[in-house]
Amino acid sequence: MSKSTDTNRNSSELTLVLGGSGKTGRRIIQRLESRGTPVRAGSRSGSPAFDWARPEDWDAVLDGVRSVYISYAPDLAVPGATESIQRFVDKAVASGVKRLVLLSGRGEAEAQACERIVQASGIEWTIVRSSWFMQNFSEGEFLQMVLDGTIALPAANVAEPFIDVNDIADVAVAALTEAGHASEIYEVTGPRLLTFSELAEEISEAASHGVQFVRIPSEAFAEGVAEAGVTEDVAWLLNYLFDTVLDGRNAYIGDGVERALGREAADFTTFARRIAARGVWEPGTTEAVA
């Protein structure tokens, strides 16, 4: 638990960041703390602890909170997410929360259903509707594939405007702390469309070793995920994303970063060079920062 969280737990300006140890959450917490904003990390390891499966503990987590960043793991598309979001929003409003910022996904009917719950809350809200994270290839899900030199996924030859998670964090912090972002849906993407083959080429150019993309059948991917011991909900999500969301429906660029921050979103080339310079893609590395 951070010093600012511990010291300011009853502050009327306290911000709760759900998914505080995740890709977006930990970056948001870092930015809020650097501003001197009182912040509470919402995670199972936090104090008080937050767990989506334990709504009976949410009152303690929401005590004294004014603003909330909502990131649902593993994704708003998974079965049961809508019910959990509704339950949490109801609790948040009842506890006196004044502002909600929801991380959402593009082209997911379930995610849009969760957006409507937040929009109907009766308090200030902002939706951050995101494309695929660039950081999926530098930390987390697909880093090992990059280190092995082969990104083997059931993705079609469809382009995606991958976004730097740091841009998401900047947009979320602005929405949590500044005026002028209420009732906005920010569709945040990178500035350029890339297929997975083009993404692999970009990584190869930046890294010290070649990386290729190989399209594999959905069945083979599902079997590999199961053999890797991935949890059932994450396995379901990965198959859902490749079978449903990456069908071309999201092959366009959003202007959310520019509208929220007044600047362009980071390009994948810039991201790849930064990650390569830090040694994250060196075979044998254990570092995963972005």
Q: Annotate 186-251 with three-state secondary structure.
A: EEECCCCCECHHHHHHHHHHHCCCCCEEEECCHHHHHHHHHHCCCCHHHHHHHHHHHHHHCCCCCC
Strand ranges of the sheet holding 14-18, from the earlier edge strand across to the other edge = 39-42, 14-18, 65-70, 99-105, 124-130, 184-188
pLDDT confidence of residue 285: 63
Find the mean pLDDT for residues 230-258: 88
In a domain, 278, yes or no: yes
Per the rule left: phi > 0, alpha: psi between -120 and 50, beta: everything else, 202 is alpha
| pTM exceeds 0.75 | yes
Residue 171 is predicted with a pLDDT of 98
d(CA 126, CA 172): 9
119 and 136 share a domain? no
Q: What CATH number should be reported for the domain holding residue 205?
A: 3.90.25.10
- What burial letters (b/e) apply to 133-165, b meaning 16+ CB within 10 Å? bbbbbbbeebbebbbeeebbbbbeeebbbbbbb
Q: How far apart are CA 209 and CA 285, in angstroms?
A: 13
What 3-state class would DSSP assign to 100?
Answer: strand
Q: Span 116-134, mean pLDDT?
A: 98
Q: Bridge partners of 187?
A: 129
123 and 142, same domain (yes or no): no
Residues 118, 79, single domain; the answer is yes
Say if residues 127 and 115 touch (Cβ distance below 8 Å). yes
Any idea of the CA torsion for 279, 17, 32, 260, to the nearest 10 degrees? 90
Tell me, yes or no, whether 112 and 19 share the same domain.
yes
The residues with which 103 forms a beta bridge, in sequence order, are 128
Question: What type of residue sits at position 229?
Answer: G
**Domain range spanning residue 43?**
3-130
- Predicted confidence (pLDDT) at residue 263 exceeds the cutoff of 80: yes
How many domains, in total, are found in the chain?
2
- Residue type present at position 290: A
Question: pLDDT per residue over 127-174, tens digit each?
Answer: 999 999 999 999 988 999 999 999 999 998 899 999 999 999 999 999
Angle formed at CA 55 by CA 108 and CA 81, multiple of 5 degrees:
10
* CATH code at position 124: 3.40.50.720
Per the prediction, the chain carries an average pLDDT of: 92
Mark whether 238 and 154 lie in a shared domain: yes
